[in-house]
Chains A and B, each alone.
Chain A
Amino acid sequence: MKKALLALALILVGLAVLLPLASSNPDALDALTANLGLQQQISMWQGIMPGYSIPLVGNNYTSTLISGIGGVLMVVVAGLVVGKVLVVKRP
């Protein structure tokens, strides 16, 4: 448990440090569809934190970091739940 918490802390610190260095260029697939002249389609769902941002937070870095931390924690919870359900303890 101690190691897992340490790993989680390292992931969050890594995210905080590396986010400012992340490229803001469009993803290859998005750029490709734009370059080929494919029209941007209307998304069915933008998400609660669209594009990894919190709409109410003005600062880009803070907004992305908060949504990233939220995402990491949500994935951890989902992973714990799935992991618990997946493994049946055998006698």
Chain B
Amino acid sequence: MHIKDGFIDPSIALITFAAAIILLVISWKKAKATYTQSFAAILAISSAFVFAAQMINFPLALGTSGHLVGGTFLAMLLGPFAAMISMSIVVVMQAFFFGDGGISTLGANIFNMAITCGLGFLLLKLLTRNVRGIGQFASRVFAASWISVMVGSLAAALEVGFSSVSASVGGVWAVVPTLLGFYAIAGLIEGAVSAALLTSLMRFSPAIMVGFNLIKVKLGVKE
């Protein structure tokens, strides 16, 4: 989902930079108001996990590959605002140290992947209102992860599709369906892995899951 340099127009790059900065400023203020005790270790470890997970590409269709995004996972672990900060740390590191995603497209990449955190949290909050039991919760995590990946990839597809670089091949009408087709498959793996990881954490260490505790799902998990 990392857009490289040159694949989006400067105007779209500027708009997405502005959007990413606004998102991060809001996230910073909200997260600062949310946490009263140190959570540096959990922020660091969960960010490291997402970085490592994004290095492992799995095969998709037609000779392509994809990787986990980790937005919903981070949101359940850290809460939506700290999760967006965590995802931004990962994306910035990837761009500056590993050339994964461009510099001019950094705003777009932060925006596209950070919104998967916020959206994943919102969706889970909506979908888990009447949930009882870990099995039901896992199915909601799966759905929230899949949808959030689709929305993040839709944002990426629109940014590339509306840029002049893709005008000669049909622009947004060619880019959006193709990319969403690939990410519909990647989202299934994202959903399955997120559901497995989060339900395991809920069983063994629910107290560390800030996001999960924020949505207050009563699943009978022992604290």
Contacts and interface: CB of A to CB of B under 8 A. Distances in A.
A78 B104 CA distance: 22
Interface residues of A, number: 63
Contacts of A48: 96-98
B179 interface: yes
A25 B64 contact: yes
B31 interface: yes
B5 A43 contact: yes
Interface residues of B, number: 70
Q: A11, A25, A29, A64 — which one has the most chain B CB atoms within 10 A of its CB?
A: A29
Interface string B136-174: 000000000000000000001000100001101110001
Contacts of B45: 4, 7-8, 11, 76, 79
B52 A86 contact: no
A82 interface: yes
Interface string B21-39: 0000000100110011111
A42 to B, nearest CB: 7
A36 interface: yes
A75 B93 contact: yes
A1 B41 contact: yes
A56 interface: no
A47 B97 contact: yes
B59 interface: yes
Contacts of A66: none
A19 to B, nearest CB: 7
Interface in B5-21: 5-7
Contacts of B28: 86
Interface in B83-100: 85-86, 89-90, 93-100
Please classify the interface of chain A as helix (H, G, I), strand (E, B), loop, or mixed, using the class held by over half of its residues: helix
B6 A22 contact: no
Contact of B57 (A25, A32, A50): A25
Interface in A46-91: 46-52, 64, 67-68, 70-80, 82-84, 86-90
B179 A28 contact: yes
A90 B65 CA distance: 46
Interface of A: 1, 3-4, 7-8, 11-12, 14-15, 18-19, 21-33, 35-39, 41-52, 64, 67-68, 70-80, 82-84, 86-90
17 contacts: A7-B45, A15-B55, A23-B59, A23-B65, A25-B63, A28-B179, A29-B156, A35-B178, A38-B7, A43-B6, A72-B48, A75-B89, A76-B45, A86-B32, A87-B35, A87-B37, A87-B39
Given A28-B65, A35-B178, A79-B43, 4 more contacts: A12-B52, A31-B182, A44-B103, A79-B48
